[in-house]
Amino acid sequence: MRYKFEIGCILVLLAAYLFTYLEVNRFLYVAGFPILQFVMIATAWNILGGYGGYINFGTAGFLGVGSYTAVALIQWLGAGIVEQVIIAGVVAGFLGLSIGYFTLRLKGVYFAIATLALAIVLETFVNNWDFVGGAAGISFLPPRKPELLGYVFIDSKGGALFGNTKEYLFFIMAVLAVFSVWIARSIEKGKLGRGLNSIKDNEEAAECMGVPTLRLKLFATTISGSLMGMAGAVFPSFLTFIDPLTAFNLEFAVNSLAMPMIGGTFTWIGPVVGAVLLGTVQQWAIVTFSSELNLLILGVLLIFFVTVAPHGIVGWFMKKNK
């Protein structure tokens, strides 16, 4: 069938919307939201890391920039969630472009180190910026009721599309996650994806075969950073609180890299499978045990996959691992 993927996307969004209709336990939104967020982050990471072979340790930095762009917009202008997401995407994309420009001329290791440093520098900066709450963090009231052309989206009495803000934000997160996967897949199936793959395989040979390697890498860092920023932008509104420790949490860096690697980095399905699987296990582990154990599970799984099945779960099923 021709539009299998597109139809799949629509079905997922319908399911996400119906999910907000069921009078489910509130915990399911709280658990489902990070899983969708992880799908988006892992997918974004994989565009540069999986297709292009450049490891980004700075996911937390891009995410935090997205979150704090949203906070600043709320503080300044009382902006709504859609504006927050778009502008956070622009800011984080620009950040990706600049860090790429200054470090991608160097070999991969330097890029990795620079991205790690980026997260730390940005966190320190926000820690000292009182306007957005500084180190203590900041809490807000749920965002003002979104409306379009006079139509109000949220009404607790059931007269609108969504019953409450959490449902609305959950659905927005689902839309963003699907959007990211669609972008990643389009890149993968096209000339850009093949170019990035050739860079991963052998950058010098790629350049000698006419691939404009620097331009492709910059494109990938920009898109990847931008999507991460968007994923971060929804965070403050969903939590109604944010502090630097949450926004720049290094666990994001670990997860964004582990999820694609465990799921499989060579195709868009890999990060999705990795994020859903690991995200679910982690949500369960957080409730049942502790968040420390959570990281331990992640570490063990990562080592297992890197050594035994380098093409991840999806590769396993596609018989890529010999």
Partner 1 sequence: MSEPLLKVDSVTKNFGGFTALSNVTTEVGVGERFGLIGPNGSGKTTLINCISGMLTNDGGNIIFDGQNLNGMKAHKRTAAGITRTFQIPRPFHSMTVMDNLKIPIEFLGIAGASQKAIEDEAMSILETMGMADKANGETTGLTQIELRKLELARAIAAKPKLLISDEAMAGLTGNEVDEVLEILINFNEQGMTIIMIEHIMRAVMQFSHRIICLDAGELIAEGTPDVIVKDKGVERAYLGV
Return residues touching partner 1 (CB under 8 A).
191, 194-195, 197-198, 200-202, 204-214, 266
The smaller minimum CB distance to partner 1, of residues 23 and 204, is found at: 204
| Distance in Å, CB of 6 to partner 1, minimum | 20
Convert 247-283 to b/e letters by CB count within 10 Å (16 or more is b): bbbbebbbbbbbbbbbbbbbbbbbbbbbbbbbbeebb
The smaller minimum CB distance to partner 1, of residues 202 and 291, is found at: 202
Give the C-alpha separation, 307 to 134, whole Å: 42
Give the C-alpha separation, 246 to 172, whole Å: 20
Q: Read off the tokens for 168.
A: 């609305």
| Distance in Å, CB of 46 to partner 1, minimum | 14
CB 84 within 8 A of CB 66: no
CB 75 within 8 A of CB 132: yes
| Distance in Å, CB of 35 to partner 1, minimum | 29
The smaller minimum CB distance to partner 1, of residues 213 and 224, is found at: 213
The smaller minimum CB distance to partner 1, of residues 199 and 258, is found at: 199
| Distance in Å, CB of 200 to partner 1, minimum | 7
- Residue 138 pairs in a beta bridge with 242
| Distance in Å, CB of 214 to partner 1, minimum | 8
Helix axes 26-46, 59-77, angle to 10 degrees: 120
| Distance in Å, CB of 119 to partner 1, minimum | 29
Give alpha helix (H) positions in the chain: 4-21, 26-46, 59-77, 81-103, 108-127, 165-189, 191-201, 203-208, 213-239, 244-247, 250-263, 269-288, 291-308, 312-317
Q: Give 303's contacts (C-beta < 8 A, 6+ positions apart).
A: none
The smaller minimum CB distance to partner 1, of residues 20 and 213, is found at: 213
The smaller minimum CB distance to partner 1, of residues 121 and 205, is found at: 205
